[in-house]
Amino acid sequence: MTNKAVLVGIYPQGGEETCQKSLDELERLADTAGAEAFARVTQLKNVPDAATCIGSGKLEELKELCQNNDISNIIFDCELTPAQIRNIENATECDVVDRSMLILDIFALHATSAEGKIQVELAQLKYTAPRLIGKGKDMSRLGGGIGTRGPGESKLEIDRRRLASRIAFLQEELRALEKNRQTMRAQREKSTIPKACIVGYTNAGKSSLLNLLTDAGILAQDKLFATLDPTTRKFALPSGISMLLTDTVGFIRKLPHHLIHAFKSTLEEAVYCDFLINVVDASDEECFEHMAVTEAILESLGASAKPILFVFNKADKCTNERLYDLRFLNGSRGRVVTVSIKENIGCDELISQLESLCRYGKTREHFLFPYSDQKSLNTLYNMSEIISTEYTDDGVLVYAWVDEKARGMFSKYIK
Ligand SMILES: Nc1nc2c(ncn2[C@@H]2O[C@H](COP(=O)(O)OP(=O)(O)OP(=O)(O)O)[C@@H](O)[C@H]2O)c(=O)[nH]1
Ligand SMILES: [Mg+2]
């Protein structure tokens, strides 16, 4: 069943176009959550009304629109306080959710791992529940409505007193899972296999990229936030070395800070890698805005200084001029490739860029290991990409790509 909804946005002087674009995205979010956008109501307002966000005249207009068209859902593009939600609901007799509640709803639908589910429930208890409690409505109506679904669905109905203890319980659970993740991460850190994280705006093609390279079989679809839980796969490069690729949750504009915080443990995958693969939907008019959002989030995660490969995707839907502009404007900020993952265009260049990024900071060295030190030779084999090995009278002559650490460890054998 599709619910019809009215979308509402406010904008400051001169911000109408941005507001409409943000509403385009809200419409897609609503669609992903199973709601059809019936109409939009916008208002020029430099400061939102403290009680009802939009002004009283607009509120009346909104109420009539909903009543005349038998609509019972309203979605605001901005963040609303619990009091604002209550006031708007009382005035319009509709269910009201804001953008963050809608995003959490989608996260709830898409979370599959235990950690993902707990993160969603925690965020819902902290954000959505206070916006539902005290609505003065029959709480049994909740669950199934837009903005109120997910693992925490039934828990959202609990009262304020029990809320705090449920939050404390989940935080404890999450801490245990985070520890687990840290241990796994520490194991991955120890291995010298290069690690890359696929990041970028939602719906850019991140999962499609991982699927293409590794047959990961991750759900890739034309929906926002198709992926919530990170997936890591090994990819063997043509040269023979392997790397780890991690697909992550997509970013979106107006992702409130508390949501970033709630998903920090999964988003942090981006911090613990050797380089980033930033996938951008080049066919989207808004792609510069998307890149800015992605960069701001990477910055807040402390991952903005990593070497980066920009993958401008969906080239099949772009003009050559646009692709040229994107390459030209970003060439100084990192490596750039333009591809169509769907049509498998440009992927060879992408792979060769990955290959060279895996060797980032490494140099080729010749070593001569005495036959008496097989242990060191084994260690080098585990740490490095070996180009050639030759058994000579003086020892084992090895030619390898090595990082600073390996170079330091075996400097006495460098030829
Ligand atoms: N036209 C075109 N569509 C593509 C291309 N690559 C991916 N897509 C489509 O874009 C949509 C989103 O792809 P995903 O791989 O799910 O994107 P994502 O970045 O993982 O998205 P989220 O997980 O939702 O953040 C899917 O419908 C893909 O089929 C491409 O090169 N060209
Ligand atoms: Mg995905």
| Domain stops at, among 186, 210, 230 | 186
Which range, of 131-135, 209-213, 394-398, averages the lowest pLDDT? 131-135
Q: Are the beta carbons of 390 and 396 closer than 8 angstroms? A: yes
Same domain, 196 and 179: no
CA of 78 to the centre of ligand 2 (A): 25
- Residue-wise pLDDT tens digits, 287-301: 999 999 999 989 988
Distance 192 CA to ligand 2 centre (A): 26
**Ligand 1, residues at Cβ distance < 6 Å:** 202-208, 220-222, 224-227, 250, 313-314, 316-317, 340-342
Distance 206 CA to ligand 1 centre (A): 7
Ramachandran bin of 361, using left for φ above 0, alpha for ψ from -120 to 50, beta for the remaining angles = left
* Ligand sitting nearest the alpha carbon of 318: 1
> Alpha-carbon torsion 251, 253, 259, 260, what sign?
positive
Task: Write the CA distances from 253 to 22, 204, 291, 348, integer angstroms.
Answer: 8, 14, 10, 31
Query: In this structure, are 93 and 172 located in the same domain?
Result: yes
Those residues whose beta carbon sits under 5 angstroms from the ion ligand 2 are: 206-207, 226-227
344 in the same domain as 248: yes
Q: Look at residue 127 and tell me whether its pLDDT is greater than 90.
A: no
In DSSP terms, which residues pair with 314 in a beta bridge? none
Residues 77 and 34 in one domain: yes
pLDDT at position 142, please?
41
Tell which atom from ligand 1 comes closest to the C-alpha of 247.
Answer: 20
The length of the chain in residues reads: 415
Atom of ligand 1 nearest to the CA of 315: 31
DSSP, collapsed to helix, strand or coil, labels residue 356 as: helix
Same domain, residue pair 143 and 222: no
CATH code, domain carrying 109: 3.40.50.11060
- Count of structural domains within the chain: 3
Residue whose CB lies within 8 A of the most ligand 1 atoms, among 29, 106, 112, 203, for a mutation test = 203
Res. 65 pLDDT band, cuts 50 70 90: very high
pLDDT of residue 264: 76
Q: Which atom of ligand 1 is the closest one to the Cα of 341?
A: 31
* 222 Cα: distance to centroid of ligand 1 (angstroms): 6
Least confident window among 107-121, 123-137, 306-320, 371-385: 123-137
Among candidate residues 342, 358, 374, the one where a domain is terminated: 358
Q: Which ligand is nearest to the CA of 208?
A: 1
Among 23-37, 89-103, 126-140, 353-367, the least confident range:
126-140
CA 410–ligand 2 middle distance (angstroms) = 42
* Residue 279 and residue 140 share a domain: no
Mutate to test the pocket of ligand 1, among 342, 343, 350 (most ligand atoms within 8 A of CB): 342
**Could you give the C-alpha distances from 43 to 46, 48, 80, 249, 290, in angstroms and in order?**
9, 10, 15, 32, 24
Best mutation site among 112, 208, 231 for ligand 1 pocket (most ligand atoms within 8 Å of CB): 208
Domain-terminating residue out of 123, 158, 186: 186
Are 200 and 144 in a shared domain? no
Indicate the SS3 state at residue 303: coil
**Whether 10 and 142 share a structural domain:** yes
Q: Do 121 and 182 have their domain in common? A: yes
- pLDDT-based confidence at residue 137 (cuts at 50, 70, 90): very low
The predicted pLDDT at position 10 comes to: 96
Three-state secondary structure call for residue 18: helix
Show the domain range for 371: 363-413
Kindly report the CATH number assigned to the domain that includes residue 302. Answer: 3.40.50.300
Q: Which amino acid is at 320?
A: N
Inter-residue contact 131 to 139 (CB < 8 Å): no
Rounded to an integer, what distance in angstroms lies between the CA atom of residue 28 and that of residue 227?
15
Strand partners, 95: 73
210 plus 290 within the same structural domain: yes
**What would the mean pLDDT of 14-20 be, rounded to a whole number?**
94
Q: What is the torsional sign of CA 283, 289, 295, 298? A: negative
Same domain, yes or no: 182 and 239:
no
Nearest residue to 65 (alpha-carbon basis) of 46, 84, 40: 40
Residue 346's alpha-carbon distances to 208, 242, 313, in angstroms, are 14, 21, 9
Sign of the CA dihedral running 344, 206, 309, 18: positive
Which residue's CA is minimally distant from atom 30 of ligand 1?
Answer: 314
Spacing, Cα 270 to ligand 2 middle (Å): 15
> What pLDDT was estimated at residue 138?
38
Q: Give the closest residue (by CA) to ligand 1 atom 1.
A: 314
Task: Kindly report the backbone phi and psi dihedral angles of residue 107, in degrees, each rounded to the nearest multiple of 5, phi listed first.
Answer: -55, -40
Closest ligand by atom to 203 CA: 1
Does the pLDDT of residue 170 top 70, yes or no?
yes
The yes-or-no verdict on residue 229 having pLDDT over 60 is: yes
246/326 same-domain check: yes
Task: Give the nearest ligand 1 atom to 223 CA.
Answer: 24
Q: What is the DSSP letter of 335?
A: E
The whole-angstrom separation of Cα 28 and Cα 123 is: 22
Task: Tell me which residue has its CA closest to atom 11 in ligand 1.
Answer: 222
